[in-house]
């Protein structure tokens, strides 16, 4: 699985104590159960919570996971890959305009790769 860490979109601040962080080895291992080809993400962690977006691709199927969480759970604890979308664009189209802001830096990263 190829892992891409992206920057948090500018101006998107949930809590001032949150700092950009990487997913740890256990988080990455947890995602391996889905046999994904690639993931893109940004993640922040604060004292009692965290936020972020995870985009997952397996073959031609795409899905995402909202990594917002409290201190009781980690960013990946409730992640699932259902392969709900046939393309990245279809996934973005299915999201609300407000939510697509959270995909901003991931979208730029994916467009640069293709």
The predicted-structure confidence for 31-85, as pLDDT tens digits, reads as follows 999 999 999 999 888 787 888 899 999 999 999 999 987 777 888 989 999 999 9
CA distance 91 to 69: 22
| Domain extent listing, the chain | 2-113
pLDDT score recorded for residue 104: 81
Tell me the helices (H) and strands (E) count for the chain, helix number first.
4, 6
Torsion of CA 18, 21, 24, 27, to 10 degrees: 70
CA dihedral over 93, 95, 96, 102, signed as positive or negative: negative
CA distance 105 to 86: 21
CA distance 98 to 111: 20
Residue 14 in this model has a pLDDT that exceeds 60: no
Kindly state the DSSP code that residue 18 receives in the 8-state scheme.
-
CA distance 62 to 34: 12
pLDDT band at 12 (very low <50, low <70, confident <90, very high): low
pTM of the model: 0.88
Coil, helix or strand at residue 103: helix
């Amino acid at each position: 699985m190829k892992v891409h860490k992206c920057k948090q979109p500018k101006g998107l601040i949930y809590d001032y104590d949150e700092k950009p962080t990487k997913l740890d080895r256990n988080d990455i291992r947890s995602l391996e159960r889905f046999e994904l080809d690639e993931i893109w993400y940004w993640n922040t962690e604060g004292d009692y919570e965290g936020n972020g977006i995870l985009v997952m691709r397996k073959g031609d199927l795409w899905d995402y996971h909202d990594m917002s969480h409290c201190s009781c759970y980690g960013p990946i604890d409730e992640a699932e890959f259902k392969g709900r979308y046939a393309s990245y664009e279809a996934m973005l189209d299915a999201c609300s305009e407000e939510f697509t802001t959270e995909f901003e830096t991931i979208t730029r990263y994916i467009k640069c790769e293709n």
